[in-house]
Structure 1
C-alpha cells in the first residue's frame, strides 16, 4: 500500500488555528498542562517520517560516564538546535545537528499552540520496553528559567511520572499523567527546579503496557537554552 503524503507545514498551520483542549494537573510546586495535540492519522505519519529522517548518535557519542566508567545509554538520542550550540551530558560534549525542516515545523506548531519559542530539541527513542532514562532534574543553569519544557510523545502509549524531589521519602506521592501518544507536557520554570522526570521502567514515564520487546516510542522535548546547553543524565 502506498503511503499517504502529508504536507506537515500546511497541516500544522491549520491545526494551530483550531481549539485544543488543555488539561491540567497540579500538586505542591507543580503546575503541568497537557494536550492531545495531533489527530491519530497525523501523529502516526509524523512518527513514520521521524523514523525515516532522524539520525541518532552512535559510538562514543552515545555513551555516558558514571563513577569513572563509560556506559552505553539504554536508548537512542540526538539533539537538533540553532547554530553554534552544544549539549553536555554525563562527561560527554556533543555538537547538536542543524534543524531539519520537519522538526522546525513541529517546533513552530508548538510555539503557535502554547506561545513559547524554542531553540533546542532533544529526541529520545525508546526501541522497546527495556529502553529507559534515569531519574533526573531538568535544572541546568543554561536553560531559560522563563520558558517551560514542551515534550511531544509519539508511538507506544506510556505513563509520564512526575515526582517531587522529596519523593524518596516514605509516603511521597507520584502523579501519573494519563497516557496519550500525542501529548504535550508543559513544565513551568519553577517545576524544573524541583521535579524529577523519570522514564525508567517500573517507576517510569516510558513504561510499555503490552509487549515490552516490540513497542517503541519517541519523546521529543523542546527547550530554550542560553548560548550552550548542558544536559546531565544517564
Structure 2
C-alpha cells in the first residue's frame, strides 16, 4: 500500500475541498506511479485535548481519481469501550431489511446492518429504502469526534456488523442520489482488522478498458478512513471474505444526505 501513500497531516477543511480533483481526473490515463507529490500539511489538534495541541497523524492515499485520508481516530482503550457500547446499544434491522436486490434477485445480506440519523431522511440502495433510527449517545459521540477532527458535518450513518471473516460486502460504490454532491464519507472501523480493497471501475471484469492496480488497505481498530470526492465516482470498494478472521468488526459510514 505504501506506494499509494502521501504522508503528512492534512487538515480536511472547506479550503481543501475547493481544490478537489475535477470530474475528468479519474479517467483511465495512468500516471507513472499512481501517487501525488507530498505537500506540507498543518497538524490538526485534537479538539478534546486543546491544551496538549497533539496532532492527528494522517496518511493520504492517492491514485487516478482516488482521494482518501486515513488516521487512527480513537486510541485502543476508547475504541474498546466504544465497541462494547455499540454491541450493547445498536439494534440491527430484521425481516425485509436484511435482503438486497442484486441483478433482479433477492439475497440475504452476509452481515448485520442498520441506519441511524436525522428524522425525515431516507437512503435507497439495491432496491431497499431505509429510514434511519434516531441518534443514540454513543453514535453522537463518534459523529461529533469526526466532525470536530475533520470540519465536515454528517446527518446519517450506515452501520455494518461482520461477525467474523465469513461476513463480507461485495464491490460497490457509495454514489446514491441522496448524498450531498461532492461530500465525503467517513468510515470508522472498530473490532477486527480487515482488508479493504479499492478497484477502479475501468479495471473491473474480463474486458477492461485499461489496467489500474487495485489498492488494498488494512482498516485498524479505532481507525477513520475519509473517502473524499471523486473517489466514489471512479472506484469500487469491498470487504472480502477472510476465513482466518474469527473476531467481529463493526463499521460505521457517516454520510451527508439531502432530504429528497
TM over 0.5: yes
- Which stretch has the larger CA shift, 12-21 or 158-167? 12-21
Counterpart of 1:176? 216
The separation in 2 between residues aligned to 1:67 and 1:19, in whole angstroms, is: 46
- What CA deviation, in whole Å up to 9, does each residue of 1:49-82 have, x standing for no partner? 0010000011112111234432211100000010
The separation in 2 between residues aligned to 1:67 and 1:23, in whole angstroms, is: 36
The separation in 2 between residues aligned to 1:36 and 1:91, in whole angstroms, is: 34
Alignment equivalent of 1:116, drawn from 152, 162, 165: 152
Counterpart of 1:71? 107
Q: After TM superposition, where is structure 1 displaced by more than 4 Å over at least 4 residues in a row? A: none
Alignment equivalent of 1:162, drawn from 198, 201, 205: 198
The separation in 2 between residues aligned to 1:88 and 1:179, in whole angstroms, is: 26
Flag structure 1 segments of 5+ consecutive residues without an equivalent: 1-11, 202-206, 229-234
Q: Is the 8 A contact 2:162 2:248 kept in 1?
A: yes
Q: What displacement does 1:184 show?
A: 0.9
State the secondary structure of the residue aligned to 1:134.
strand
- Which stretch has the larger CA shift, 115-124 or 135-144? 135-144
Task: State TM-score, norm by structure 1.
Answer: 0.83
The number of residue pairs the alignment matches comes to 209
The separation in 1 between residues aligned to 2:120 and 2:58, in whole angstroms, is: 34
> Bigger radius of gyration, 1 or 2?
2
The separation in 1 between residues aligned to 2:47 and 2:87, in whole angstroms, is: 22
RMSD: 1.9
State the secondary structure of the residue aligned to 1:146.
coil
